[in-house]
Structure 1
Amino acid sequence: MAHSEDHFVVSIERFKPHTFESDEGDGLFISHSHAYDELTLILAGEGYYSSPEQNLKVGAGDLIRIPSGLHHGFVCTAPWQGVSVHFRHDKLPVHCQYLFHASREPNRIHSTQLGEGDLRWASISLEQMEREWRAERPGPDSASCLRIALETLLLLFQRNHGNAKQTSESGNDQAIIQEVVKEIHARYYSSVTVHELAARHYLSESNLRKKFAETMGVSPKQYIISLRLMEAKRLLQQTDKAIESISSEVGFTSSSRFYDFFVKSEGITPLEWRKQALQSV
């Protein structure tokens, strides 16, 4: 499984206890960037993670999420142990993509402290991921087990990171929109309406549209369409399902509407896009 070029997991690495000598000076931080996301769980010890705008102290129980493309570094100040998962979030199903699309700070390292129960849960999830990832002969459900374990880690991060934020009027608005985004990701393929979403959060439709556009940069309807197209592209690349079947699966009421939106977005037909995507693998 580790050699699958189109898989969402790039690598899983455990780092052993080590420290840098203080006389290494400028070499103290190992600085780099990569074209995929990272989740790192610190199991023991402590140190610092840095980005162009940050210098975060981290220790045992911290779960760290680093967006793709962000230049960052780290240094261990007390012998530490941990696990890092590198993955491509764009290859995950749309229902868990809200964990990335709801973020308003894509160019920052995000860190949260896990409680004892969640830390144990995170550790078990990582162990399961390692087992599936390193298996010489992956079973038919290995990819699903990997995805569920990774999604569990992301949900643990989101829950603890969200609980740590201050509550204010603007913060409450942000929390509402994040809940709406989560609901949309869970039901993007159905006939979910702005009226229904607004009523669930005791907002008028116009108010929800305004808050959503201010936070996400697009209207709820545009966001739903973009998710349907995103999932359609994943299915076009990762499966051999018929285009008409994919169109229905992601929520378009007709193949012609799917074609129209797809061509408007990508400039080519779904079939042409699939051929190009498969040739580039």
Structure 2
Amino acid sequence: MSDMARGFITSIERFKPHTFQAEQGEGLFMSHSHEHDELTLILGGEGYYSAHDQNIKVSEGDLILIPSGLHHGFVCTEPWTGLSVHFLYAKVPAYCQYLFLNAYQKPHRLWSARLDADDRSWAEMSLSRLERGWHSEETSDNSYDLMRIAFETVLLLFHRNVVVAQDAELSSDKRIVQEVLKEIHRNYNTPITIHEIASRHYLSESMLRKKFSEAVGVSPKQYVINLRIEEAKRLLRQTGKAIEFISSEVGFTSSSRFYEQFVKSVGVTPLEWRKQHQDK
């Protein structure tokens, strides 16, 4: 698959079974950092991941999220196998971005989730589908969409296994904003209105706008527009889909409205932007 179609993925690697003997002392931990983000599924064996004051024991079925730039180490105590996806957070599709929001509010730490047998099987199948797409020479838009769906599936499995512990720490206002963000990222490509979202949370539109703007920095309406533009940019760069199709896919009701908002936000037309960035 071409670099353009791979989009947000930088590499996919499988562990080779290995272990280290205790007499190696501090050499047990293979410490490093990297510019990309990492999501790793442990398929077998046991070991530890460490970062700062964290030391997390991991075994079969665990998913580990490692933000870019985080200096971390690992050690295998029982020969293990696993599958790691290295990706660029800034390039992931829109709904995937929401699934990372909680983790990236506190980027200087490791995150892990323990999957049960069914979820572990589902995650492994999805990562294997992603891996096949990565190695495939096929460059159609369908192959890109299959990779996106596979990645999104793994993130959903990760997200639902860590979200309860994280949400317990949220205040009422923050929890509302989190739910609104979730709703926006899930439905940004539909004709949603801020009035409808506010009503579902038993708030006036002005009150929701105030809470959201204080927490996020922009109004809910502008956040939706920004999200649609960013997703359009990803599709322009990573696929060969027609501009009119992209306009509809990201939620604009007309091509003229899409062109107007794109030029206002980016400074050039969608076609000009695609020519400038598609091969990068």
Above 0.5 in TM-score?
A: yes
Q: Secondary structure at the match of 1:164?
A: helix
Partner of 1:72: 72
Instruction: Give identity over the alignment, percent.
Output: 61
**8 A Cα contact 1:102 1:181, kept in partner:** no
**8 A Cα contact 2:188 2:227, kept in partner:** yes
1:233 deviation in Å?
A: 0.9
1:141 deviation in Å?
A: 4.0
How far apart in 1 are the matches of 2:263 and 2:278? Answer: 18
Question: Quick one: structure 1 residues 98 and 248, their matched pair in 2 at CA, closer, same or farther if it must change by over 3 Å?
Answer: same
Question: Quick one: structure 1 residues 269 and 197, their matched pair in 2 at CA, closer, same or farther if it must change by over 3 Å?
Answer: same
Partner of 1:46: 46
Deviations 1:168-212 (A, max 9, x none): 661x54443333212212222333222211211223334423332
How far apart in 2 are the matches of 1:59 and 1:276? Answer: 45
Matching residue's letter, 1:69:
G
Partner of 2:94: 94
How far apart in 2 are the matches of 1:100 and 1:55? Answer: 21
More contact order relative to length (CA 8 Å, sep ≥ 6) = 2
**8 A Cα contact 2:4 2:238, kept in partner:** no
1:160 deviation in Å?
A: 0.7
Indicate the RMSD between aligned Cα atoms, in angstroms: 3.0
How far apart in 2 are the matches of 1:55 and 1:215? Answer: 31
How far apart in 2 are the matches of 1:145 and 1:259? Answer: 27
1:134 deviation in Å?
A: 3.6
Partner of 2:219: 219
1:31 deviation in Å?
A: 2.6
Question: Quick one: structure 1 residues 204 and 120, their matched pair in 2 at CA, closer, same or farther if it must change by over 3 Å?
Answer: same
Partner of 2:34: 34
**8 A Cα contact 2:42 2:80, kept in partner:** yes
Question: Quick one: structure 1 residues 208 and 56, their matched pair in 2 at CA, closer, same or farther if it must change by over 3 Å?
Answer: farther
Partner of 2:3: 4
How far apart in 2 are the matches of 1:17 and 1:27? Answer: 18
Counterparts of 1:49-198 in structure 2 under 5 Å?
Answer: 49-52=49-52, 54-101=54-101, 103=103, 104-135=105-136, 141-165=142-166, 167=168, 170=171, 172-198=172-198
Q: Secondary structure at the match of 1:32?
A: coil
Deviations 1:104-161 (A, max 9, x none): 2233321111122212221222233334434466787433332222111000001111
Q: Secondary structure at the match of 2:232?
A: helix
Q: Secondary structure at the match of 1:43?
A: strand
Which is worse superposed, 108-117 or 45-54?
Answer: 45-54
* Structure 1 segments unaligned to the other structure (5+ residues): none
**8 A Cα contact 2:4 2:239, kept in partner:** no
Which is worse superposed, 60-69 or 247-256?
Answer: 247-256
How far apart in 2 are the matches of 1:138 and 1:263? Answer: 28
**8 A Cα contact 1:132 1:138, kept in partner:** no
**8 A Cα contact 2:5 2:239, kept in partner:** no
Question: Quick one: structure 1 residues 222 and 69, their matched pair in 2 at CA, closer, same or farther if it must change by over 3 Å?
Answer: farther
Question: Quick one: structure 1 residues 58 and 229, their matched pair in 2 at CA, closer, same or farther if it must change by over 3 Å?
Answer: same
Q: How many residues align?
A: 278
Which is worse superposed, 84-93 or 139-148?
Answer: 139-148
How far apart in 2 are the matches of 1:26 and 1:79? Answer: 18
Is 1:238 matched up with 2:268?
no
**8 A Cα contact 1:102 1:216, kept in partner:** no
Matching residue's letter, 1:76:
C
Matching residue's letter, 1:20:
F
Question: Quick one: structure 1 residues 273 and 54, their matched pair in 2 at CA, closer, same or farther if it must change by over 3 Å?
Answer: farther
Q: Secondary structure at the match of 1:30?
A: coil
Partner of 1:14: 14
